[in-house]
Amino acid sequence: MAAISMRNITKVYGDGFPAVNDVSIEVADGEFIILVGPSGCGKSTLLRMIVGLEDITSGDMIIGGERVNQKAPRERNLSMVFQNYALYPHLTVYENIAFPLRLRGATDSDIKSRVEGAAKTLDLEEHLQRKPGQLSGGQRQRVAMGRAIVREANAFLFDEPLSNLDAKLRGQMRTEILRLQRNLGVTTVYVTHDQTEAMTLGDRVAVLRKGVMEQLASPRDLYEQPNNLFVAGFIGSPPMNFLPCSIKGDTMELPFLTAPLPAHVASRLTGQDLLIAGIRPEHFEDASVVDERKRDRGLTFEATVDVTEWLGNQQYAYILYDAPPEVLEHLAELDKELDGESLRTQMVVSLDPMSRIRDGQKATLWLDPARIHLFDPKTGLNLTKRDGESSESGDGSDAIGSSVITDGTGSGSTGGAHSLTADGGTRRTN
């Protein structure tokens, strides 16, 4: 196992566009890092540069303390698992797992103990004599992981390993990958465009956009302290609401409410009178079910609910609002980058399932203004984020307002105080 240092890594393809642009990430030995971002952001290119399947235009790739830029994939001793399993159909599960060991000339007894060990870890013992065609998608994915395990590689590299599986299996395999990574303690870099995978699997997550790393942080920090509009919009489901916010003296006016402008945000403004406010759906509540002690901390306002969705354990209300054209323009651009459906000017509010708010009703809603993020529409920067503060370090309660395995052959063919408060909306505690 080894640490991976990516230092100022750039990749320029023939057309001159930097698919990866000056990215630096230090992956500690045993750490689980996620590369996430919309299609075309450069995450697969970066992964392929780690494993050696893509030349590095500039920068240093250091694995286990050694610069590997010029090293062939097989010399890097990394295991890569791709999205389509590409197992050898004519070989049994046993032989598929054993394959990299046979290439290396391992002895039969060594192969036997390692394949059986991996099969035990992956719960594949009963299937060792079967062929891949007789396995389910999840089992095939486990065989692919078995191959990666037996190689005792310096690191695991995953490229969207679960995207071919149905939603339920994806959830199960996600947990298995996490368990496996924790048990083996192996350095792992995992590419996905799925933010649920990013948030649940990674120790840290690198969010990429057009080749540039927008933020590298723990899932919790990304969620609670996004650097900018892009990260804020990408992380979270349903996504953060973006609303126009007019600055009038020391107050901020949103479509449904007016709240005091936090002093430290006011000091950062350089003449902007229109900002974009970001509020996560779960930070609203039906005012009639808000705890008395909590109610005074926030503001209540009225809004007409367009439609509601009741999901049993959760309920969403959609509220339409108007936004000035300049805000709409920014939001439309952002939506395009996030691969979104065309963005309607509607606010999504998560309500307690007990709430009796129904379609077409005027509802009284509650919000703690401390939960509001404010973004500069021009730069996209989060003005509410305090420099150097991490929501990891405190309780935040003072918030303001194929699966191809490369086998190392390189062919890869076969196969702030202004953070959000801690009592809501976070997905992960470790």
Residues within the interface to ligand ATP (CB under 6 A): 13-14, 19, 37, 39-45, 193
Q: Is 306 exposed, middle or buried (0-12, 13-18, 19+ CB in 10 A)?
A: middle
Q: How far is the CB of 21 from ligand ATP (least distance, A)?
A: 10
Length of the chain (residues): 430
- Between 42 and 377, CB nearer to ligand ATP: 42
Question: How many whole angstroms separate alpha carbon 61 and alpha carbon 66?
Answer: 8
Question: How many whole angstroms separate alpha carbon 238 and alpha carbon 307?
Answer: 15
- Between 14 and 271, CB nearer to ligand ATP: 14
Question: How many whole angstroms separate alpha carbon 371 and alpha carbon 283?
Answer: 7
Tokens of 361: 């009703």
Q: How far is the CB of 43 from ligand ATP (least distance, A)?
A: 4
- Between 193 and 373, CB nearer to ligand ATP: 193
- Between 39 and 270, CB nearer to ligand ATP: 39
Which residues touch 127 (CB under 8 Å, ≥6 apart)? Answer: 93, 119, 134, 135, 139, 143
Q: How far is the CB of 93 from ligand ATP (least distance, A)?
A: 28
299-304 and 284-286 strand pairing: unpaired
- Between 19 and 119, CB nearer to ligand ATP: 19
Strand order in the sheet with 307-310: 307-310, 315-320, 346-351
Q: How far is the CB of 340 from ligand ATP (least distance, A)?
A: 15
Q: How far is the CB of 175 from ligand ATP (least distance, A)?
A: 23
Question: How many whole angstroms separate alpha carbon 189 and alpha carbon 177?
Answer: 12
Could you please report the per-residue DSSP string of 251-313?
Answer: EEE-SS-EEEPPHHHHTT-SS--EEEEEE-GGGEEEGGGS-HHHHTTSEEEEEE--EEEE-SS
- Between 198 and 245, CB nearer to ligand ATP: 198
Helix axes 108-121, 167-184, angle to 10 degrees: 120
- Taking 3-state DSSP, the helix, strand and coil percentages for the chain, each rounded to the nearest 5, stand at 30, 25, 45
- Between 191 and 399, CB nearer to ligand ATP: 191
Question: How many whole angstroms separate alpha carbon 293 and alpha carbon 270?
Answer: 37
Enclosing H/E stretch for 10: strand 4-12
- Between 40 and 238, CB nearer to ligand ATP: 40
Q: How far is the CB of 149 from ligand ATP (least distance, A)?
A: 25
Give yes or no for a contact between 275 and 229, defined as CB atoms under 8 angstroms apart. Answer: no
Q: How far is the CB of 332 from ligand ATP (least distance, A)?
A: 21
Q: How far is the CB of 356 from ligand ATP (least distance, A)?
A: 42
Q: How far is the CB of 428 from ligand ATP (least distance, A)?
A: 23
Give yes or no for a contact between 407 and 87, defined as CB atoms under 8 angstroms apart. Answer: no
Q: How far is the CB of 365 from ligand ATP (least distance, A)?
A: 37
> Look-up: residue for tokens 């030995």?
29
- Between 21 and 181, CB nearer to ligand ATP: 21
Longest CA–CA span in the chain (Å) reads: 78
- Between 37 and 226, CB nearer to ligand ATP: 37
